[in-house]
Amino acid sequence: MHLLYSAEDTLPCQHLSLTWSASGKGKRLKQAKEEATAEIDHYRLQREKEFRNKETNVMGSQGNLSAKIEEQTTEAIRNLTSSYHRNMENMMKKLLSTICDISPEIHPNFRPAV
């Protein structure tokens, strides 16, 4: 944009032919547009880099938190597995003794047919 303004100010004569002026102005406009696009791209890259830095700072702490949660989960699974192996035999014996203990009783709601 700056080049466009400076190019308009530095025209040598105002009375030059319109064709030269129009073609020169078109070139200057094209060049100004290219420079503006380059400036915008540079600014965008700079902002994206800043964003990635901030994101890394925030996500870095979340990454540590994620690893900590994963470790706690693994520990809990290990504890449950060891508890299962310790108590499985006793529970199976208790379950089988309850199932296999047959003591015939009459249900309290039973009414003999009269």
Structure tokens at 88: 């499985």
| 7 and 28 Cβ atoms separated by less than 8 Å | yes
Tell me how far CA of residue 10 lies from CA of 22, 23, 26, 49, in angstroms: 15, 15, 15, 38
- pLDDT(18) > 60: no
**Which H helix or E strand runs over 12?**
none
pLDDT for 113 equals: 83
Least confident span in 2-6, 25-29, 49-53 = 2-6
Which of 8, 40, 37 is closest to 21 using CA atoms? 8
Predicted structure pTM score: 0.38
Q: Report the candidate in 54, 1, 52 with the shortest Cα–Cα distance to residue 31.
A: 1
Q: Which residue has the tokens 């009375």?
A: 15
Q: Is 113 helix (H, G, I), strand (E, B) or coil?
A: coil
Identify the pLDDT of residue 16: 46
d(CA 3, CA 9): 10
Residues 31-86: tens digit of each pLDDT: 999 999 999 999 999 999 999 988 888 776 666 787 889 999 999 999 999 999 99
